Structure 1
Amino acid sequence: MQKFIRMLEHKMEVAKEDSDFTFFFSLLVTGEAITKMIALLSVASLNIDKDRHQYRILHDLVRANGIGEWSKAIDDMVVGTASQHITSEFRVHQAELTRKVNSDEWQFVAVEELVSALRELNLQVDISAGKKDLKSWFKLFTELRNKTRGHGAIKIESASNAAVYLSRSIDLIVDNLTLLNIPMAYIRRNLSGKYRVTDIVDNSISFSKLKKSDKYHLEDGVYMFLGDFRKVPLIISDSDLSDFFISNGGFTNRKYELLSYCTDDKKSGDSSVYMMPSGQLPPSESDGLGELTAVGECFSNVPSLSYKYIRREELEDQLLSLLKDDRRTVVTLLGRGGIGKTSLALKVIPWLYDTTRFDAIVWFSSRDIDLKISGAKLVTANVISDKDISKYYCSLVLSEEERSKKTFDSIKYFQEQLTKSDIGSCLFVFDNFETTENPLELFKWIDTYIRNPNKVLITTRLRDFIGDYPVNVHGMSYDESEKLIRLTADNLGAGETLTSNLIDEIYNVSAGHPYIIKIMLGELSKQNMKGSLPKIVAGSEEVLTALFERTYAALNPCAQRVFLTLASWNSTVPRLALEAILMVSIDEPLEVEKAIDNLIQYSMAEEFKSNIDGQKFIALPYAAMAFGEKKCRVSPLKAIIGNDVRTLQRFGPAKPEDKKISLSHHFARFLGALPQTETEFENNKNIIERICLSHIDGWLLVSRWLEESGDINLYKIANKYLIRYLENETSEAKKVAAWKQLAELSRELGEPLEEVHSLIEASQYSEVEFSDLSNVANIINRMLSNHELELENNDIKKELLSRLFNVFWRRKSEADAIDLSRMAWLALHLQRLENAKELIELGLSKDPFNRYCLKLREKLDNYHH
């Protein structure tokens, strides 16, 4: 906290120059700030546990209007009930606060100096003689702070004398307390997923890895490093460390106050995070049973389905096959909240009971929210750490006597069982894996020790690990959804009011999401099956938060930006258009494609292909869009996103069910919405070219749009784009049309050689009609005769005209007399007199009176004479 301390010290120096009285009260403010900081560092060191000790303390601190609650919290965390949950790396700092020391230790002196300050102010001191610990300092300081709030009650002389002692006491803590010098930094995630790190404590090298890796999912804020990265709650700053704001009471159902002890400025925090009750929560309905019981051919603690289940045969067959397969050691069911991952597992697992694949199936639940038709209900996660998992497993397979031995290590024992289980082949099931304390580290631990024939099944919303076999659980099919709709409606007593149209609407709005189907029907049943389904979904904020918040928070800023952009316009969008717009808008364009893939992987967005051109389109399920709209309303990126959305809207709206959807159609709409000016083209050039690089037909569309402008400068760009198209197109018919278009453009640009070259290129394909060949020959003959085309280099002339003539010669049986006369003219330009004569005679044999052939025969006769 060196940066923070230096800012406080500067404030005290300014106060000292003013007066001793001002200095004294500045010291009180500094002491309060340091007390709060020590409390926050201590609470950050608490491991997450089932009894939620960390949340309990934060729940009280965020509401605290005085320093006394902060002092009590420190006591609770270093010697009270919460102390058993502090991380092992914090023990050395805990000892520094709690160890009773003699007068030769700095802690003793710091407490004595504070006692002297209290006595100078004639305040009663309740402290025993002999050894002292530093934690008592905070209780004494609370007395001092509370009894000196009325400034007028203190004499100036007393304040001056007390300031000397209080200053020395605070200096001893600042100079010696190691807790204030642990590695700390403010981190902010870049769009790439890597972090900008600003050291709060000098040389916090522990944070350097965040600058190089995008594998961490840490929200922006103040962090300390104590074994791992731990966010320090109830304090905010910024990447410049311009100020520090600490919780200061004023709690309402919307906000709480944050105070800067350095500048006296104030900010507001979001109180919704701390609105949950602090008491112990009920268990989840999906908790594993308390004992292993014999079921069929194996032992199991897997809970039974407590509700009627709609079959999802394709997923069930896939999962059953994978669980029986010895090659897949770890299988993951991946999908967004409420999509049916747990239900799928609970349906399939009993089918294994009568097989010999597993001798035991052990279920571990980390669920902290039960999704019920009445809404999302908070519950206690049964296991959230490696220690919880190990102790729970041991409680199932070992006696209390074995577990209570001093030398027994539950974590070591469970590791051994992952590798080779004493009860035989075992399937370990981890439900709601993303809510564990550190999913990535926990997965590495499990993956390190698991060995065949044992196996692991994981259900999760997030998959940041590799080494597993993922099964994506998406929304239900229409038939599956219809069955669920009818079943749910019957249970609600509303089955008779269902219509085909209502079933269709429920399916379309829910995108087959089973929990959203249940929520919509639950609300409809309260309104006599009437109401707007989109409004029901959008109004279910608690449900949307339960389904999407955890996944959204895990996305990197680039993926969040993409999601909010999609949520800001209720339309299906071409993936290439979305990528192009955001790659231009975002500083790190290479991250955009990865961000879209992440959204699809986590089922926050859906991707499908056009039946017409095979191009990919992206859409948000309605519930995800409703959640995104809520997020966008308060996002600081709202203005930037709005600008991107306006550009995206130029591609026109679309729906996933549109059978005629295609990128070319939407790209043409985008171009049609742009004024055909050089300025407008330059403004959109990067977007246009990014799309065309992956969509070859785009070059052709843009070149036509540029040609229609009538601007000679845009003609030149159109010429370049047509060449790009021809370099990549493989269809002969399309190439012929493009070469003709390029010839016309070259004529507009006054480039006859390029025009002739394009016409001759167009003639080279078998797809070309013979009449088109004849027309090309006629154009070239006219240009040569009128001297529109001057070919001084005979080699170039011969090369160009020979390519056309040779094609013509091979297909001369298709020619009529006029065609053959044109061909003969080409022969004359090439000095092929015998070929010209042969062609004329052939033409006259087909039409003896053809004037063009007769005129050419006369010309050849004169030529010979």
Structure 2
Amino acid sequence: MYQKRNKILKQVWAKNLIEKEDSDSAYFLALLYTGELLTKLICASMLAGVEEDSKKHKYSQAYHLVRADGIGDWGKAILEIVSGPTSHHLNIQLRNPQKEITQKVKAGTWQHDSISSLNECLKIIGVAVNEIPSKTNLINWFSMFSQLRNKTRGHGALRSGVSSQICPYLEKSLELISGNFSIFDFEWAYLSQNLSGKYNVKPISENSPSFNFLKSNVGKSQNLENGVYIYLNRPVFVELIKSDKDLSDFYFPNGGFSNKRYEVLSYSTGSRDSKDNSKYLMPPGDLPVSETEGKRKLSVIDNCFTNLPKVDSIYIHRPSLENELKKILVNERHPMVTLLGRGGIGKTSMALRVLEGLCSLDRFQTIIWFSSRDIDLLESGAKSVQPQVLDIEDVAKEFVKLIDESLLKTKGFNSRKFIEKHLSDYQEGISPLLAVFDNFETVKNPTEMFVWLDTYIRTPNKILITSRISEFRADYPITVSGMEENEFNELVDSVSDELGITNLITKKYVDMLYEESLGHPYVAKILLGVVSIEGKAGNINRIVASQDELLTALFERTYTMLSYAAKKVFLTLSSWRSTIPKIALEAVLSTTSDTKMDVESAIDELHKFSFIDIYSSTKDNSKFISLPLSAYLFGHNKLAVSPLKQKIMEDREILMMFGVGKVVDVDEGVTLRFEKFFRQIAQNIGTGKNHKLSFYKPVLEYICRKHYTSWLIYATLLEEVNNKNGAIGACQQFIQNEQDYNKLIPVWKRLSKLYAKQKDFFGEIHSLIEMCAIDNVSGAAISACATRLNQLLSNGSLDSKEDEKKALSRRLITILNDYIVQDDNNLDDRTKLAWIYVHIKKINEARKLVQFIIEKDPNHVHAIRLAGKIGVKLESN
């Protein structure tokens, strides 16, 4: 039964059957491993169901478990999770498994019987144990198993023949848990995101239908880390169990925690591996509160009740942004306003300065500040702090505490309804409420909270959100990007003066600092702090690269939230620091990937999460993507250990063919970059270097479809490699997209020459006629077209398609008539027109033209020759 319930159990019990055939000693050892696995599996799955809270109970347990060298620590963790303070945060879906562990049960139940069997094992090895009481709970099993393990495999050795006595009891005990504990009846799966944004769902339980929605387009809206999941009304990540999409093995933490890694062990194969420990470095326990946490009591500032924090740090005014924020908060429209930008860009400090100014107005009676910040970006570095609010309930209780804490003691009082009423209501004569949510992206479920706020907020009350993620754009989003240069210079002056390093900072260094940081104030402060420590203005790239803590603080949290496709795009951008045309990036990654990849959506996601900057060219409105220095270095570190590195480096080789670009080059547009790319391909093909044209074809055609003028460059490339048909097709693509007819004249002419080289005379003359149909075409071009048509009609080149020949002739006749009617003295072109009439057997029209010509010029040689051919009688002089 247990073999069907869960593949993790199936693997280890399959191994047990093999060991059982070998010897009792081997089987006993295998059963001990199975007991360890069950302990860790139950602990890891129950821990997964612990909801995040401000005290970080879940993290605290994981922190200790990745360091645990003994199985007893896992049993203690289970006790804490199911019955300690951590249990208050356990997902409601795990109430039954929790009850199965904690409830005292009598003999005959699977829990009681499993403990009794384990107790027999302890007796056999000579451990003094008490008789099992009439009622007991499963939590005792874990401490008893730890004792058995330590007395045998851990610190003792079995006497001869003891294995054969103990195995039946231990087997029964483990089978009872494997076959009955309800956590194994839940749906389990390994999730891995495709480049398309959808998820591969590999069932670990017998069935996993609840995960199937992730296989559809709905899955694209999820940001789930690849790994093992259990379904608890939603997919919940089981972070302490490692596997892969093939489910070839399952690994559990096994101690061995070092500076950078911790050991993991597979109980079904015995293989060991190591995992990155960076998630578990911060010591657990109560953290300091953030410097931007709202005060715990309301006070009066000017005309307003508020709990705004007071932050004593250098602040440089940013008039344009401040005025925009103030203006939008003061009006009675736009109930939800967002300040959007990357970490450390100045959203919080600017909001506080503007809000302090609003207190002197009569716009709001109350301004409430809620902080979800878990990292303070201090000038001394990034420091972990305790968030003030993490979910809707936290917000509601904090609001009540500020307004009237005594209400919490009122029977039946509902904090959530209380704040919902204040967000929705407005009484005449009472100034409204402004609720501010700082670091919104760090709450447990930002989407849920955003919808909740949007549902209840009513003007003239307002909500202000600061966030690194632009998904929460609200009614009026304000993007906070780098400082303007004059603001940045003022910041550098102030910080340098405070640090006493003014003499070390030159204008050239400040300009370089601005260019590399893109006006990012926190990055500038950190770099200036390093200058102060080192006593010199060192290389900016080197300094930022050495600030691992800075890079992690700015990007790690949001990086983990990215989709698989967005991570791949980001790592690709991090492989080479250059502004890259958006179309070029899409072309390379969309066409070189083995699986379908929505690159455009991935780029939008990176922009939404503030990883990249997107610039528009004033010349052609084309888009360019650039990474700030800090984001580039963070991504470069990630790329160094990424399994995608080899493929990304291959893509980088193609991207580099577009040439290096800087932000200042954006206004030149994309044409020059694309021309460089096409020329580089031509050189590679000409020298036999790298790939054939067919390798680049998908990228080239993607670029052309998005930037149609590139079809002409592509046509030249195709012509150079003697692919005339391909060049013809490229010219036709340009013609289909170009709206300016004047620009089509040289292209039609070029197309006619390509057809001529292919001896496609219908294509040639059709192209020439289409060119002549354009209003601004020259008379010489029309005349030349008529000459060429007559040549083709005379030598029979068009005889194979009589109807098409006549249709083309009629089209040019119309054009010629419109052209020559403007000039009675244009006799040569009238002669050409007459010849066309002759070739299509319209002799009467030809005769009329010849008579007109000879009347104008009795000596017109060509007209006289044609007159003799068609029987026009000439008058003698």
- TM superposition score normalised by structure 2: 0.92
Shift of 1:662: 3.0
| Kept in 1: contact 2:591–2:698 (CA 8 A) | yes
Shift of 1:821: 6.1
Supply the distance in 2 between the matched residues of 1:721 and 1:820 (Cα, whole angstroms).
35
The superposition leaves residues 77-117 of structure 1 with CA deviations (integer Å, 9 ceiling, x where unpaired) of 22223233323333332222112222243322222221111
Supply the distance in 2 between the matched residues of 1:795 and 1:231 (Cα, whole angstroms).
73
Confirm or deny that 1:743 pairs with 2:749.
no
Supply the distance in 2 between the matched residues of 1:409 and 1:104 (Cα, whole angstroms).
44
Confirm or deny that 1:534 pairs with 2:541.
yes
| Kept in 2: contact 1:827–1:836 (CA 8 A) | no
Shift of 1:240: 2.3
Q: 1:288-327 maps to which residues of 2 (within 5 A)?
A: 288-327=294-333
Aligned residues: 853
Q: Which amino acid aligns with 2:424?
A: T
| Kept in 2: contact 1:305–1:347 (CA 8 A) | no
Shift of 1:225: 2.2
Q: Which amino acid aligns with 1:84?
A: H
Shift of 1:316: 1.9
Identify the match of residue 781 of structure 2 among 772, 793, 799.
Answer: 772
Shift of 1:478: 2.0
Confirm or deny that 1:38 pairs with 2:60.
no
In structure 2, the CA distance between the partners of 1:759 and 1:110, relative to structure 1 (3 Å rule), is same
Aligned counterpart, 1:725:
734
Shift of 1:331: 1.7
Q: Which amino acid aligns with 1:221?
A: G
| Kept in 1: contact 2:436–2:464 (CA 8 A) | yes
| Kept in 2: contact 1:330–1:469 (CA 8 A) | yes
Supply the distance in 2 between the matched residues of 1:210 and 1:465 (Cα, whole angstroms).
22
Q: 1:239-278 maps to which residues of 2 (within 5 A)?
A: 239-278=245-284
In structure 2, the CA distance between the partners of 1:285 and 1:126, relative to structure 1 (3 Å rule), is farther
Identify the match of residue 358 of structure 1 among 354, 364, 386.
Answer: 364
Supply the distance in 2 between the matched residues of 1:129 and 1:647 (Cα, whole angstroms).
72
| Kept in 1: contact 2:243–2:249 (CA 8 A) | yes
Confirm or deny that 1:605 pairs with 2:612.
yes
| Kept in 2: contact 1:805–1:827 (CA 8 A) | no
Shift of 1:402: 3.0
Supply the distance in 2 between the matched residues of 1:234 and 1:361 (Cα, whole angstroms).
42
Q: 1:20-99 maps to which residues of 2 (within 5 A)?
A: 20-99=24-103
Supply the distance in 1 between the matched residues of 2:166 and 2:66 (Cα, whole angstroms).
30
| Kept in 1: contact 2:575–2:649 (CA 8 A) | yes
Shift of 1:601: 2.6
| Kept in 1: contact 2:79–2:139 (CA 8 A) | yes
SS state of the match for residue 381, structure 1? coil
The superposition leaves residues 497-517 of structure 1 with CA deviations (integer Å, 9 ceiling, x where unpaired) of 433322221111001111112
Shift of 1:792: 5.1
Confirm or deny that 1:228 pairs with 2:237.
no
SS state of the match for residue 398, structure 1? helix
Supply the distance in 2 between the matched residues of 1:476 and 1:230 (Cα, whole angstroms).
40
The superposition leaves residues 112-170 of structure 1 with CA deviations (integer Å, 9 ceiling, x where unpaired) of 22111101111122577442111011111111111112687312333222222222222
SS state of the match for residue 155, structure 1? coil
Aligned counterpart, 2:415:
410
SS state of the match for residue 25, structure 1? helix
Supply the distance in 2 between the matched residues of 1:266 and 1:653 (Cα, whole angstroms).
44
Aligned counterpart, 1:154:
158
Q: Which amino acid aligns with 1:715?
A: K
Aligned counterpart, 1:281:
287
The superposition leaves residues 641-668 of structure 1 with CA deviations (integer Å, 9 ceiling, x where unpaired) of 1111111222222222126633222222
The superposition leaves residues 564-618 of structure 1 with CA deviations (integer Å, 9 ceiling, x where unpaired) of 1111122112211211111112355461111112222333222223343332222
Aligned counterpart, 2:657:
650
Could you tell which deviates more after superposition, 474-483 or 283-292?
474-483
Shift of 1:360: 0.8
Aligned counterpart, 2:819:
808
Supply the distance in 2 between the matched residues of 1:783 and 1:811 (Cα, whole angstroms).
27
Aligned counterpart, 1:702:
714
Aligned counterpart, 2:6:
2
Q: 1:314-713 maps to which residues of 2 (within 5 A)?
A: 314-399=320-405, 401-420=406-425, 425-465=432-472, 468-587=475-594, 589=596, 591-658=598-665, 661-675=668-682, 680-709=692-721, 711=722
Aligned counterpart, 2:224:
218
Supply the distance in 2 between the matched residues of 1:608 and 1:654 (Cα, whole angstroms).
12
| Kept in 1: contact 2:851–2:872 (CA 8 A) | no
In structure 2, the CA distance between the partners of 1:421 and 1:110, relative to structure 1 (3 Å rule), is farther
Aligned counterpart, 1:864:
872
Supply the distance in 2 between the matched residues of 1:782 and 1:609 (Cα, whole angstroms).
51
In structure 2, the CA distance between the partners of 1:780 and 1:795, relative to structure 1 (3 Å rule), is closer
SS state of the match for residue 201, structure 1? coil
| Kept in 1: contact 2:517–2:523 (CA 8 A) | yes
Supply the distance in 1 between the matched residues of 2:13 and 2:796 (Cα, whole angstroms).
89
SS state of the match for residue 377, structure 1? strand
SS state of the match for residue 275, structure 2? strand
Shift of 1:855: 4.7
| Kept in 2: contact 1:114–1:166 (CA 8 A) | yes
Over the aligned positions, Cα root-mean-square deviation in angstroms equals: 2.6
Supply the distance in 1 between the matched residues of 2:124 and 2:426 (Cα, whole angstroms).
68
SS state of the match for residue 757, structure 1? helix
| Kept in 2: contact 1:187–1:196 (CA 8 A) | yes
| Kept in 1: contact 2:196–2:596 (CA 8 A) | no
Supply the distance in 2 between the matched residues of 1:836 and 1:607 (Cα, whole angstroms).
66
Supply the distance in 1 between the matched residues of 2:510 and 2:100 (Cα, whole angstroms).
65
Confirm or deny that 1:102 pairs with 2:106.
yes
SS state of the match for residue 639, structure 2? helix
- Percent identity reads 39
| Kept in 1: contact 2:853–2:863 (CA 8 A) | no
- TM superposition score normalised by structure 1: 0.93
Shift of 1:442: 2.3
SS state of the match for residue 681, structure 2? coil
Supply the distance in 2 between the matched residues of 1:180 and 1:191 (Cα, whole angstroms).
31
Could you tell which deviates more after superposition, 198-207 or 510-519?
198-207
Confirm or deny that 1:15 pairs with 2:15.
no
In structure 2, the CA distance between the partners of 1:241 and 1:287, relative to structure 1 (3 Å rule), is same
Supply the distance in 2 between the matched residues of 1:126 and 1:455 (Cα, whole angstroms).
65
Could you tell which deviates more after superposition, 657-666 or 589-598?
657-666
Supply the distance in 2 between the matched residues of 1:119 and 1:810 (Cα, whole angstroms).
119
SS state of the match for residue 463, structure 2? strand
| Kept in 2: contact 1:827–1:835 (CA 8 A) | no
Supply the distance in 2 between the matched residues of 1:382 and 1:672 (Cα, whole angstroms).
57
Q: Which amino acid aligns with 1:735?
A: L
Q: Which amino acid aligns with 2:203?
A: D
Could you tell which deviates more after superposition, 100-109 or 781-790?
781-790
Shift of 1:443: 2.1
SS state of the match for residue 263, structure 2? strand
In structure 2, the CA distance between the partners of 1:113 and 1:789, relative to structure 1 (3 Å rule), is closer
Supply the distance in 2 between the matched residues of 1:64 and 1:600 (Cα, whole angstroms).
40
Supply the distance in 1 between the matched residues of 2:692 and 2:440 (Cα, whole angstroms).
50
SS state of the match for residue 156, structure 1? coil
In structure 2, the CA distance between the partners of 1:161 and 1:742, relative to structure 1 (3 Å rule), is same
Q: Which amino acid aligns with 2:807?
A: I
Supply the distance in 2 between the matched residues of 1:221 and 1:498 (Cα, whole angstroms).
48
The superposition leaves residues 467-497 of structure 1 with CA deviations (integer Å, 9 ceiling, x where unpaired) of 5543222222222222222222222222344
Q: Which amino acid aligns with 1:838?
A: F
Supply the distance in 2 between the matched residues of 1:309 and 1:841 (Cα, whole angstroms).
92
The superposition leaves residues 725-774 of structure 1 with CA deviations (integer Å, 9 ceiling, x where unpaired) of 11221222211100110111111111222222212221222222233333
SS state of the match for residue 591, structure 2? helix
